[in-house]
């Protein structure tokens, strides 16, 4: 579709450069992370959901969602990169390792929203550690 435009308007721009630029934009858009997120920590469960919206949502249209009891959250990590942000949950599970890791790639989240999410998760993790330490002392 862009070949006709380049033939008549942009004689000095090579076609492979435009193709490479389009492919680079698609790659960056797919790696940047999910644009929509929602978190609900009220009650006894944590519900965290991310999904792609926008022009390149057809590349990764899968919704990432986790719904778990608060007592199963052991720890979390927040990584801030150049292009995207990543939130990693460490969850107590019944596997041989007793630990499961869930990653969420995020993008376009303001620092204030991210601070709110981190504060809520920090309160949950502190409460879980306190309960675990009290149980170990009472046994």
pLDDT(33) > 80: no
Average pLDDT value for residue range 41-66: 78
Q: Side by side, which strands form the sheet with 85-91?
A: 73-80, 85-91, 100-106
DSSP label of 38: E
> Can you say whether residue 120 is alpha, beta or left, with left for phi > 0 and alpha for psi between -120 and 50 degrees?
alpha
pLDDT classification of 3: cutoffs 50, 70, 90? low
**Residue extents of the structural domains in the chain:** 32-138
Q: And the tokens for 46? A: 């944590």
Compute the mean pLDDT over every residue in the chain, rounded to the nearest whole number. 80
Instruction: Spell out the residues 6+ positions from residue 2 whose beta carbon is closer than 8 angstroms to its own.
Output: 18, 22
Q: What confidence score (pLDDT) does residue 59 get?
A: 64
Q: What CATH topology corresponds to 32-138?
A: PH-domain like (2.30.29)
């Amino acid at each position: 579709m862009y070949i006709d435009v380049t033939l008549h308007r942009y004689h000095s721009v090579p076609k492979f450069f435009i193709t490479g630029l389009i492919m680079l934009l698609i790659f960056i858009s797919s790696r940047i992370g999910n644009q929509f997120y929602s978190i609900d920590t009220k009650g006894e469960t944590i519900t965290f959901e991310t999904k792609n919206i926008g022009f390149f949502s057809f590349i990764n249209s899968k919704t990432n969602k986790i719904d778990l009891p608060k007592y199963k959250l052991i720890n979390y990590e927040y990584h801030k990169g150049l292009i995207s942000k990543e939130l990693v949950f460490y969850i107590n599970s019944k596997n041989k390792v007793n630990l499961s890791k869930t990653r969420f790639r995020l993008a376009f989240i303001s620092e204030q929203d991210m601070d709110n999410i981190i504060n809520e998760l920090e309160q949950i993790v502190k409460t879980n550690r306190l309960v675990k330490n009290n149980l170990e002392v009472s046994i």
